[in-house]
Amino acid sequence: MQARPVHRFSFAERAIHWLAALSFLYAALSGLALWSHHLYWLATVLGGGVVTRWGHPWGGIVFALLVGAMFLIWARQMRLDSDDRTWLRHAKKYAVHDEAGLPAAGRFNGGQKMLFWGQVVLTLLLLASGVVLWFPEWMPRNFRLAAILIHPIVAAGSIGMIILHIYMGTAAVPGSFRAMIRGWVTPGWATSHHPKWYREISKN
Amino acid sequence: MHTVAKLVDTSTCIGCKACEVACQEWNDQDFTISGFDGSYQTLPDLEHNFWNLIKFNELSREDGQMTWNMAKYQCMHCVDPGCLRSCPAPGAIFQQKDGIVDFNHDLCIGCGYCITGCPFDVPRLSPNSKKVYKCSLCSDRTAVGLEPACIKACPTNCLTFGTREDLIQIANARAGELKQDGHAGAGIYNPEGVGGTHVLYVLKDAADPESYGLPKDPKIPWTVSLWQGPVKWLGNLLFTGGILGAFFHYLRYGPKPTGDEEGSDA
Ligand code: HEM
Ligand code: SF4
Ligand code: SF4
């Protein structure tokens, strides 16, 4: 039996999410091209070293703007409540699919909220340090010395979080990729992953 | 193999700036006087199109008279170059077997990392070409057995070109002479923090290189060493660990139930 689809993400939410994903992919690949000589072939694929150096900061700016857009549409829904805190304390159980004692998640669970806030903070740091690296000729030496250390550390943390996010959004939680592509989920999916949210939207 | 070097005997520099002119001529560079700041120095600092500067460091002597600690300033051709360690573009900076550190501008992407990595603040980004420039120790002359242009032009033999081993000996001998002449603090400048340099100095006051405009104990900045060392290893570990971790999590635990399985009550 085909269950009635439950609307989960609006077109605007999906568009912002995927534009952010694309710009992040470009920023990450063009940044990683400079991360190590062994990855410099990425620069060749992306149009050569000069193009990569020119394009990366712009890709980063576009990404930062889209994170700003996500902040505007999602920040209120991403506030952690006491259930989320309990959820986070037992995140290990979630990871091994032993969810019996976990508090019911709202539209976003504690892990998703932490990913959101984490990326907001890391993006601000990437933006600040990235702008310093962008214009070395105008920046005081101490700023440059700090940025050259901070930018790649934060970038690595951010890429690490996104690896986890991609895994969760594709293989680990079937149904969530379709939610972000087509915008809907099944009632079963909503009940098992975000019961508090499903209860709320079914009320109206 | 013997490496090459340049020796600057600051005690015999008369500030004629012949080396500056020779450098501009040989490297075919236009430059504009960017401003006059009340000093005898040609420009306040190195520029992307001005790689060799005689610094006229003004000091007051014990008798109250003014004096100059004149010193030639350019790329030091470090044995362990911070610029090279920082550069992300393979081949854009390279160190020759003879010790010369040179830039290949076709490969430079203009990121400016080398400017930050250099303990002597030498490389300069050109606003026109968006590439970075500095003294090449006239690698295009030394390759065919000529001495660098600055050395060719120097009228007082303040500048010498030769093998690094020979010049260290000559420099030590000259410092000994200066000591006998009453300059008790004379010595050579060949900073250990960058493994030594291929530009050596004889200073009358070796304990105070800063009075010649030379950094006292130059080292590759620690943030640069950390960035190009442990940060890269830990980052690589994180990336591979993340991908492998996800893969093995899937093998061990598989996907979450979708909630639509047979027998679920949705
Ligand atoms: C937010 C705005 C951003 C700005 C203004 C910015 C700017 C820069 C600049 C100027 C560089 C130097 C080389 C180049 O231009 O390619 C750089 C390097 C780099 N960026 Fe960004 N970036 C930003 C965001 C990002 C993001 C989102 C990532 C990916 C997670 C990232 C990852 C990197 C990496 C890995 C490097 C190389 C670091 C190294 O050489 O060790 N950046 N960035
Ligand atoms: S002085 Fe600076 S530019 Fe010259 S070799 Fe040393 S680190 Fe590189
Ligand atoms: S500006 Fe050019 S030479 Fe300097 S680090 Fe970047 S690519 Fe290398």
pLDDT surpassing 50 at residue A175: yes
Contact A186 B266 (CB under 8 A): yes
CB-based contact B65:B96 (threshold 8 Å): no
Q: What ipTM score was computed for the predicted complex, to two decimals?
A: 0.93
- What count of residues does chain B have? 266
CA B247–ligand 2 middle distance (angstroms): 44
- Mean pLDDT along residues B83-103: 97
CA B159–ligand 3 middle distance (angstroms): 29
Which helix or strand (DSSP H or E) is residue A125 part of?
helix A110-134
Residue B264 in 3-state DSSP?
Answer: coil
The CA-CA-CA angle for residues A69, A70, A73, to 5°, reads 90
**For A50, what's the count of Cα atoms within 13 Å in the CB-facing half-sphere?**
8
Distance from CA of A112 to the nearest CA of B (A): 15
Question: What value does the CA radius of gyration of chain A take, rounded to a whole number of Å?
Answer: 19
Mutation choice for ligand 2 from B52, B72, B73, B75, CB with most ligand atoms inside 8 A: B75
Q: Residue B61: its pLDDT value, please? A: 83
Closest ligand relative to A64 C-alpha: 1
What is the C-alpha separation between B191 and B76, in angstroms, rounded? 10
When pLDDT is cut at 50, 70 and 90, the band that residue A92 belongs to is: very high
Q: Residue B33: its pLDDT value, please? A: 75
Closest ligand relative to A157 C-alpha: 1
B-contacting residues of A 136-155, CB under 8 Å?
A: 136-137, 141, 144-146, 148-149, 152-153
Give the C-alpha distances (Å, rounded to integers) separating B62 from B12, B59, B109, B213.
21, 10, 50, 20
Domains of chain B: 4-212 (3.30.70.20), 221-266 (1.20.5)
Q: Residue B208: its pLDDT value, please? A: 94
Q: Which of B149, B160, B245 is nearest to A95 (CA)?
A: B245
β partners of residue B160: B7
If phi > 0 it is left, if psi is from -120 to 50 it is alpha, else beta; for residue A97 that is left
Distance from CA of A193 to the nearest CA of B (A): 8
Q: Residue B1: its pLDDT value, please? A: 65
Q: Residue B62: its pLDDT value, please? A: 85
Q: Residue A2: its pLDDT value, please? A: 60
CB of B64 less than 8 A from some CB of A:
no
Residue A6 in 3-state DSSP?
Answer: strand
Lowest-confidence segment of A135-139, B59-63, B169-173, B235-239 by average pLDDT: B59-63
CB-based contact A55:A47 (threshold 8 Å): yes
Question: What is the DSSP secondary structure assignment for residue B120, as one 8-state letter?
Answer: T
What is the C-alpha separation between A159 and B16, in angstroms, rounded? 56
With beta carbons under 8 A apart, name residues in chain A contacting B235: 35, 152-153, 156
pLDDT surpassing 50 at residue B266: no
Q: Residue B264: its pLDDT value, please? A: 55
- Residue range B16-55, pLDDT digits in tens: 999 999 999 999 998 777 777 888 999 999 999 999 999 9
- Residue range A19-30, pLDDT digits in tens: 999 999 999 999
When pLDDT is cut at 50, 70 and 90, the band that residue A1 belongs to is: very low
When pLDDT is cut at 50, 70 and 90, the band that residue B258 belongs to is: confident
Q: Residue A4: its pLDDT value, please? A: 86
Q: Residue B31: its pLDDT value, please? A: 76
- Mean pLDDT along residues A112-118: 98
CB-based contact B76:B100 (threshold 8 Å): no
> Which residue's CA is minimally distant from atom 2 of ligand 2?
B118
Domains of chain A: 6-78+100-203 (1.20.950.20)
When pLDDT is cut at 50, 70 and 90, the band that residue B263 belongs to is: low
CA A160–ligand 2 middle distance (angstroms): 34
Mean pLDDT of chain A: 96
